[in-house]
Amino acid sequence: MSQRKPAQIHGLLVIDKPAGWTSRDVVNKVSGILGEKRVGHAGTLDPMATGILLIAFGEATKGVRWWQDASKTYETTVRFGSATLSDDAESPVLRTAKVPELTLERINTALPQVGELLQVPPAVSALQRGGVRDHARVRKGEVVVREPRPVRLESVEVLHIANPDIALRVTCGAGFYIRALGRDLGEAMGSAAHLTQLRRTFGGGFSLADAIGLEAFQQLPEESRLQHLRPLPAALGRVLPSLTVDDAMVLAFRQGRQPVLPTDLRGDVLILDEQGRAVCVAIAHEDEAGARLVVERGFVAPEAADDAPTEPPAD
């Protein structure tokens, strides 16, 4: 049995996804351009959606779960008066309803409260049951029963009102569906609604100012493309607190020990060596002497990541 070829490219690429592409389409395109097969992404965007898509290569694929779990911000347009199967403009209208009076007071009253809440996902989604995604079941004509799931809404702001549309800015946790928010808002106002536009403006610690468009990336000279990859330590440091340790402590982590350090850090912590390389992510448990650090994910320090720039050049 042949061994998998080691990754040659390491780091995180921040792409501004264009409309009409699936997240997987973008990942496959960029992977083909760079010639690196060890690749993953953090946070699926629907084909209609645009904005921040984080694509990890090589050793950086080990950090996907932390970028995925970080808060995300979206700007979206909700259109009242009609509901669709997918809760966005990508599917036919299922029913129509009278457009409600769209005042700031009425909208704010109908919007959900900030905090933890239960949300029913859209019928057309990437959620899986028995290895089959819900969107595939729906397209086969199956009726998908969706159970409410706990999600986190951090903030929601009405940007403007232009009957029958309103624009919102939403910051939320992982697993939150903006499409479901628009659908539920329509129902809460005694009408129907769906999204006509969705853009992720922030995710995984990165904003649109950090991103490069897919077309612009494709047009870069080959020697310039790798300059846009963020090295793992800097990129993961956007979403996790970090702690630098000496060589003896690095060895302790490599040997699977659980050192206790005099720090008040708790939860997931990025451990760096004195050269600024990522050693591991450890979870810090409370201990009477500080924090007991238990390795969750170890990293190899590839030369490609070590030599990468700390920040890509401005576009």
Q: What DSSP state is assigned to residue 238?
A: T
169: tokens are 């800015």
CA 164 → CA 30, 82, 155, 273, distances in Å?
A: 38, 10, 23, 55
215: tokens are 């077309």
Phi/psi at 224 (5° precision)? -95, -15
Q: Which of 16, 46, 88, 210 is catalytic?
A: 46
Decide if 88 is catalytic.
no
Burial of 272 (0-12, 13-18, 19+ CB in 10 A): buried
Phi/psi at 180 (5° precision)? -70, -35
The residue ranges of DSSP E strands in 81-207, in sequence order, are 82-84, 93-96, 115-119, 128-129, 132-133, 149-162, 165-172, 193-203, 206-207
Considering Cα of 88, then 92, then 94, then 97, what sign does the dihedral take?
positive
Tokens 């002497």, located at residue: 289
Q: What DSSP state is assigned to residue 10?
A: -
Strand partners, 297: 281
Q: Which of 306, 244, 289 is nearest to 269 (CA)?
A: 244
- In Å, how far from its chain's centre is CA 100? 33
Provide the annotated active-site residues: 46
